[in-house]
Amino acid sequence: MSMFSMQELFLDAKSSADEPPPVAPAPAAPLHSSSLTELCTLLNISADIRHHHHFRFHHVRLRRDQQLYQTGQPCLQLYAVKTGFLKATLTADAKRPPVVGFPMRASLVGVEGIASGHHTVDVTALTDCELVVIPLDTLALLSRDCVGLSRSMCLVMAGELARELSVSKRRGLSAKARIGRFLLDWSERFASMGYARNVFNLPMSRGDMGSYLGMAQETATRALLALEEDGLISINHRTVCIHDRQVLLTLKRMPRQRHSPD
């Protein structure tokens, strides 16, 4: 007799004795998963999810230096960073591939692969990380029933693009100004997570920071030392303390000086 038939007989016997059939317990949430409600909160998304708010997305965990995906792999899902820090790099023949992003909590990772269907960067964990996996097929199905979900996800993607474009716009500034603005950006991102605004740890190396800002590691190191000598910041290993935000904000508007020909 099949297992299914034996279960049916068990329930019939219980009913014949005028006892209520056993009530199946609510399915337990999978370990390391997030509900749609929790995902929307993480990404600061506003949408009508009342009919699917218990839908769950599993998580993926990475150890430091472990890759999330590589260039050329199919883009079948997006990732919302729950904890930890990562870096995105372009595949290149250079000894140090250029860094193009530093995803952290509330970042949406994988967007760059949607258009072509394949990822165009390598993403590696800078620290231990936990990410929410968002299959694209699932997202498309949920978007049909959840009013505003698709638009809200597009706004999150647009925000990621705007952040990266803002870095490109600063290429005409001095190295010290670019570093100063970079520190202010990270200050605001930490503050948005409820952490201290003026004291924080940078998870990346000086080389990765310089690569992201379009300068050599030595240039980035000199710029940090110059800001420290000016009394605008202090640095202890990777811990940064900002002392004068106003002057750092002024630095971002100072173009690189051009020397007139002799």
Q: Supply 209's token pair.
A: 């920071």
Residues of each domain in the chain carrying CATH 1.10.10.10: 171-251
Q: Is 50 helix (H, G, I), strand (E, B) or coil?
A: coil
Q: What is the pLDDT of residues 128-155, one digit of tens each?
A: 999 999 999 999 999 999 999 999 999 9
Domain 33-163: homologous superfamily in CATH: Jelly Rolls (2.60.120.10)
DSSP calls for 202-232? --S-HHHHHHHHTS-HHHHHHHHHHHHHTTS
pLDDT > 90: what percent of the chain? 71
Mention every residue, 6+ apart, whose C-beta is less than 8 A from residue 51.
Answer: 145, 146
Which ranges in the chain are annotated with CATH 2.60.120.10? 33-163
Query: What CATH number was assigned to the domain covering residues 171-251?
Result: 1.10.10.10
Burial of 135 (0-12, 13-18, 19+ CB in 10 A): middle
Q: Residue 8: what pLDDT?
A: 37
pLDDT at 86: 98
**Residue 142 amino acid letter:** L
Among residues 136, 180, 182, 129, the alpha carbon closest in space to that of 157 is found at 136
Residue 13 pLDDT: 36
Instruction: Check residue 95 and give its pLDDT.
Output: 75
Interval 70-111: pLDDT, tens: 999 999 999 999 999 999 999 876 678 999 999 999 999 999
Which residue, chain included where needed, has tokens 């140090």?
96
